[in-house]
Amino acid sequence: MPTFEGDKLVGFTRFIAQYNEAFFELNRLAQIACTIPVTSVQSERSFSCLKLIKTHLRTTMLDDRLSDIAVLSIHTARARSLDLDKVVDKFIAIYPLCRIQLTF
């Protein structure tokens, strides 16, 4: 039996690719198997975050806002690295006549 280099599935796919004319369908299936993610953890995490957000803010939120908050919740590391001063400056540049009044 031939030995496959590197990862077993990738090595098998490379080996089968040499015989594409004889094993066309097997080659296609092996290529598809190489592109399928191993787990669905990211999608499960997305739905979990969405469920938490919806339970807290279900009655007062529109779909666009819910979608934006879900993206921020899913990508928390990237959201925390944002420079809020730059975000506010960009908002002011886009909406120069908008004024926010904060009162306590």
CB 68 within 8 A of CB 50: no
Same domain? For 30 and 64 the reply is no
CA distance 77 to 86: 17
Task: Please name the residue that has the structure tokens 């420079």.
Answer: 83
Q: Are residues 51 and 82 in the same domain?
A: yes
How far apart are alpha carbons 66 and 16 in whole angstroms?
Answer: 46
Contact between 34 and 9 under an 8 Å Cβ cutoff? The reply is yes
Domain count, the chain: 2
Domain that holds residue 63: 41-94
Q: What are 1-51's pLDDT values in tens digits?
A: 565 555 788 888 888 888 888 888 888 888 888 777 656 666 677 777 777
Whether residue 57 contacts residue 50, with contact meaning beta carbons closer than 8 Å, is answered with no
Q: Are residues 49 and 87 in the same domain?
A: yes
Q: Is the domain of 49 the same as that of 29?
A: no
Domain membership of residue 85 (yes or no) is yes
| pLDDT on residue 69 | 79
8 with 26, same domain: the answer is: yes
pTM attached to this predicted model: 0.33
The 10s digit of each residue's pLDDT in 40-87 is 666 677 777 777 766 766 656 677 777 887 888 888 888 888 888 888
Say yes or no: 24 and 61 in one domain.
Answer: no
State which amino acid sits at residue 34.
C
